[in-house]
């Protein structure tokens, strides 16, 4: 018999309930008696589920289109080709899906807050039409900084390494709360943030500025603060990537990295932020697709390792929340096993949510075959479903309405108070590394500026790029600004054009993006320095750029190139704000990495 009671309660509930704090605090502590009563209630829901429905609760797939039921012909064709269905509503119905993940750009899920709200409501209508209706736990990667999914209309906040430079736990908590408040208003109740990796490898191609820094103690404080902020907003935070992705030069999207830390090093460097997240009440932790021989000599990827997930994360660290796999389409987890076996092995290792399978039909049926064949018991299946339902319940999805109100979206998402707070936080993160002869702030007579250099596109809007946006920020401060984007690899002609453009200017602001010794960004800077025009260098991504640049008069780091960070950097350069950021990582010399050029904690000010 089909149970519609949850659906009836949901439909009768207010459709405008979702706002900051409306669902309570995710991860709030409960007494054993209250937890027991809650689990009994959730087990009654599980008892009404078929095996197929239970398996569906585990999966968090992607899909194409900005509507749950009527995507464009192009998106419908891609869904049919890759997922075997036309819409996400059909995907939910076919596989009893318990959660989905939104992306911008390539999946065409995200355009603006109103559209996201409509998509969310469509997803929830499909979920409540299932034989055992349970709302979806909708997920997203909204780390901010370089890794952000919702751009237009939402508040943009400094990313992790920028917050690490600000060194304010209050700012980190506020950023989490603002981000969570806006996500909750959109009906998105699981954010795959914060990053808990300690970035001790400057060559790390996948974590880098997504980390709060290189000091385990400081990273731990930031992670705990962000978890608290998200909890205050009623959103499920997710610390990632366990057991630690901060010391690798290989990208797990394309290979299987190996972490060579000893057990003592892991305890000292990698473990503390995850311990801090657990102590702060984090409700989900994401795995990493990498090998850690000191933790598991079998060299299974951590995502598939019972020794790491069950033995270390659950038994040693005491985590009983939801373990989420990193995306199962990444090469790091597909190097040894087929796509039908990877989700089965992840579940056997201790995972609960199976994120982004490359082929949902193959993955779903692989798990179904394992359950029917006795490889995975139904009790094991029920344990994962119970953990998932717990976080849905904490997020208010099982007691209130999962639907979102356009009026709440308009009032909360991108609210002026949020944007002002983000701007203040960003100003406290901009870091001044070099300031010879007090080259900064710019003098009052230095009104004619040239902004030139690398110009990466905004993370969620490739129509807006760094150099013109930075120039616009200076114009709004009263400067007369021209600009020229030269790219990450400027050729001789482009460098000559930049040198010519510098003539007659009072100062030049040069942006860099991932400088290396063999590239030509350093050549551009050297040629501009040779003109005699005052030059200000701004690293818009990695703080490590300065190691490859000699002779700079003034150098700053913004840690990303989103609008909020560029505007903050412009205000600091202009003297409208004091540089207060301090390096959250050490910077080694490029010619002798054993020597430190700038220590962690370095940061100049104008005051003294």
Cα–Cα dist 583/558, whole Å: 11
Answer yes or no: 537 catalytic: no
* Selected catalytic residue, list 111, 141, 251, 253: 253
Cα–Cα dist 454/483, whole Å: 11
Which residues, other chains included, contact 589 with Cβ-Cβ below 8 Å and sequence gap of 6+?
547, 595, 596, 597
Q: Give yes or no for a contact between 223 and 211, defined as CB atoms under 8 angstroms apart.
A: no
Parallel/antiparallel/unpaired status of strands 507-512 and 535-539: parallel
In 3-state terms, what secondary structure has residue 4? coil
Which residues, other chains included, contact 370 with Cβ-Cβ below 8 Å and sequence gap of 6+?
344, 347, 376
Cα–Cα dist 158/557, whole Å: 12
CA separation (Å) from 470 to 124, 482, 564?
40, 10, 10
The residue among 318, 175, 287, 320 whose CA lies nearest residue 235 is 175
* Backbone φ, ψ for residue 127 (5° rounding): -65, -40
Which residues, other chains included, contact 5 with Cβ-Cβ below 8 Å and sequence gap of 6+?
none
| CB burial string 188-202: b at 16+ within 10 A, e below | bbbbbbbbbbbbbbb
Answer yes or no: 326 catalytic: yes
Q: Give the HSE-up count for residue 372: Cα atoms under 13 Å, Cβ half-sphere.
A: 8
Helix (H) or strand (E) holding 567: helix 563-574
* Selected catalytic residue, list 283, 326, 340, 393: 326
Q: Which two tokens stand for residue 182?
A: 């806006």
* Backbone φ, ψ for residue 239 (5° rounding): -75, 135
Q: Which two tokens stand for residue 238?
A: 């997710």
Q: Which residues are catalytic?
A: 253, 326
């Amino acid at each position: 018999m089909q149970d519609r009671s949850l659906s009836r309660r949901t439909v009768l509930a207010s459709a405008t309930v979702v706002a900051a704090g409306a669902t309570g605090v995710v991860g709030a502590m409960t007494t054993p008696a209250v937890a027991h009563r809650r689990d009994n209630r959730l087990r009654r829901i599980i008892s009404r589920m078929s095996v197929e429905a239970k398996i569906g609760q585990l999966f968090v797939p992607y899909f194409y289109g900005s509507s749950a039921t009527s995507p464009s012909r192009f998106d419908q064709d891609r869904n049919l080709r890759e997922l075997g269905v036309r819409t996400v509503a059909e995907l939910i119905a076919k596989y009893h899906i318990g959660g989905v993940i939104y992306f911008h750009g390539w999946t065409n899920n995200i355009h603006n807050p109103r559209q996201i709200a409509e998509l969310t409501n469509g997803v929830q209508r499909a979920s409540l039409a299932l034989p055992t209706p349970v709302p979806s736990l909708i997920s997203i990667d909204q780390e901010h900084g370089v890794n952000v999914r919702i751009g237009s209309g939402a508040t943009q906040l400094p990313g992790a390494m920028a917050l690490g430079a600000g060194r304010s736990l209050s700012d980190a908590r506020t950023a989490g709360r603002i981000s969570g408040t806006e996500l909750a208003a959109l009906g998105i109740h699981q954010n795959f943030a914060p990053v808990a990796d300690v970035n001790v490898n400057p060559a790390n191609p996948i974590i880098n500025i997504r980390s709060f820094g290189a000091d385990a103690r400081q990273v731990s404080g930031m992670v705990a603060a962000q978890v608290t902020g998200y909890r205050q907003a009623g959103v499920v935070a997710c610390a990632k990537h366990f057991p630690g992705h901060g010391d690798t030069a290989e990208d797990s999207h394309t290979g299987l990295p190996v972490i060579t830390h000893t057990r003592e090093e892991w305890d000292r460097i990698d473990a503390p932020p995850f311990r801090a997240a657990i102590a702060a009440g984090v409700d989900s932790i994401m795995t990493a697709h990498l090998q850690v021989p000191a933790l598991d000599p079998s060299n299974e990827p951590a995502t598939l390792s019972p020794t790491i997930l069950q033995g270390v994360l659950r038994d040693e660290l005491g985590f009983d929340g939801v373990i989420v796999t990193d995306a199962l389409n990444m090469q790091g987890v597909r190097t040894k096993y087929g796509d039908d076996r990877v989700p089965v092995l992840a579940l056997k290792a201790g995972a609960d949510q199976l994120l982004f399978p490359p082929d949902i039909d193959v993955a779903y049926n692989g798990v179904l075959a394992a359950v029917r064949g006795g490889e995975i018991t139904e009790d094991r299946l029920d344990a994962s479903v119970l953990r998932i339902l717990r976080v849905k319940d904490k997020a208010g999805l099982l007691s209130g309405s999962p639907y979102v109100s356009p009026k709440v979206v308009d009032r909360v998402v991108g609210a002026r108070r949020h944007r002002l707070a983000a701007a203040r936080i960003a100003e406290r993160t901009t870091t001044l590394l070099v300031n010879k002869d007090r080259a900064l702030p710019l003098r009052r007579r230095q009104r004619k500026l040239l902004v030139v250099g690398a110009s990466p596109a905004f993370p969620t809007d490739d129509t807006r790029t760094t150099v013109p946006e930075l120039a616009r920020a200076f114009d709004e401060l009263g400067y007369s600004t021209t600009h020229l984007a030269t790219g990450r690899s400027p050729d001789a002609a482009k460098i000559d054009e930049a040198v010519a453009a510098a003539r007659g200017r009072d100062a030049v602001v040069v942006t860099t993006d991932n400088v290396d010794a063999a590239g030509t960004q350093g050549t551009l800077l050297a040629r501009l320095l040779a003109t005699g025009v005052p030059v200000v260098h701004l690293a818009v991504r990695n703080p490590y750029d300065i190691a490859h640049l000699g002779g700079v008069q003034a150098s700053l780091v913004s840690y990303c190139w989103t609008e909020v960070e560029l505007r903050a950097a412009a205000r600091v350069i202009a003297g409208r704000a004091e540089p207060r950021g301090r390096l959250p990582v050490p910077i080694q010399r490029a010619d002798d990495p054993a020597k430190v050029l700038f220590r962690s904690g370095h940061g100049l000010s104008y005051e003294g």
